[in-house]
Amino acid sequence: MSKKDIGLLLLILVVGAVVAAINPRFLLPINLANTSNLIGLFGILSIGQAFVIITGGIELSVGSSIALLGVLFIDFIATRGMDWPVAFILILILGGLIGLAHGWLIARLKLQPFVVTLCGLLIYRGVARFYTADGTAGFAFGQNFPTLEFLTAGRTYGVPNSFIALIVIMAIMWVVLHRSVFGRYLYAIGKNEEAARFSGIRTGRIIMAAYVICGVLTALAAIYFAMYTRSISPASHGNFYELYAIAAAVLGGFSLRGGEGSIVGVILGTILLQELQNLVNLLGIPSSLNFSVMGGVILIGVLVDQQWGAFRTRRRLVRAARAEPSTEGQRN
């Protein structure tokens, strides 16, 4: 864990302690379980977003994709009678295809990530609403999928399985990002795409792969969200979820210019965001202020981080200047 991660972890613990001191219900198993379930759901899609942000890109269509893929998943198993494992795989493939399309437009046709994924945001939301004729997609009374429900919304020894899924995905993605050749390429492209290309890296393919990973993880999150809410009104389901993911990454030390950030960071960012949500509920702050609290905390966090960095740079310069006093014309 980097210094930044440890700082974030401390912040999470301090905020947790304060909330627990004011309202002891924070530490009740039911509250912890609910919060960790949400951490699992948002964590999965934030990891996907992280892969895109590392390359210097951005994926804005996450929320709409979650609505569209969620609607499709429920429709496949509830209305069309598809076997759920088949539907499950199909949705992941669809998510991957969406990512591939975005990656292709960005890496091959050189469109800006912001523009491509903003269009995705609008398109998928529209398609999702059209698909259900703006109705709510849900299960019929008495429809049950015990295995699927256990895997997505169930618990093991009190721990939500969605949270366990996040831990597994986190472990895999940690290896991919921090230990694999592919991960190295991602950082290289994020730092300086030109230099990466001049080192013989096929940067286009790597960027497309990052968007595919984001698409697949978003699809997985879409299934978890669908099974968590069990009914989806496509006009509002998943609204702003891309911003949760981006905020988690930024809090976790990612740079939107690319090339910086870690899996641990983005997970800690997700945890802090969900803790803040929980704080709003438990401390009796009007829930309408929810977004304002999150925005304020992110802004302060980024500001402190940036000022701290500037302070350290200044201190280093001052020290360096003292170490070699006035070497005018003698530097070699």
Q: Which residues bind another protein (CB under 8 A)?
A: 175, 179-185, 187-188, 191-192, 194-202, 259, 328-329, 331-332
Q: Least distance from C-beta 63 to another protein, angstroms?
A: 32
CA distance 102 to 296: 31
Q: Least distance from C-beta 255 to another protein, angstroms?
A: 11
In the bound state with another protein, the residue whose beta carbon lies nearer, of 167 and 175, is: 175
Q: Which residues contact 29 (CB under 8 A, 6 or more apart)?
A: 158
CA distance 173 to 11: 24
Q: Please, are residues 294 and 276 in contact by the beta-carbon 8 Å criterion?
A: yes
Give the 3-state DSSP-derived string for 152-165, with helices as H, strands as E and coil as C.
HHCEECCEEHHHHH
In the bound state with another protein, the residue whose beta carbon lies nearer, of 216 and 223, is: 216
Q: Which residues contact 256 (CB under 8 A, 6 or more apart)?
A: 53, 56, 58, 246, 250
Sign (positive or negative) of CA dihedral 180, 181, 184, 186: negative
In the bound state with another protein, the residue whose beta carbon lies nearer, of 191 and 230, is: 191
Q: Least distance from C-beta 187 to another protein, angstroms?
A: 8
In the bound state with another protein, the residue whose beta carbon lies nearer, of 168 and 328, is: 328
Q: Least distance from C-beta 174 to another protein, angstroms?
A: 12
Q: Least distance from C-beta 192 to another protein, angstroms?
A: 5
In the bound state with another protein, the residue whose beta carbon lies nearer, of 142 and 329, is: 329
Inter-helix orientation angle 146-153/161-179, to 10°: 60
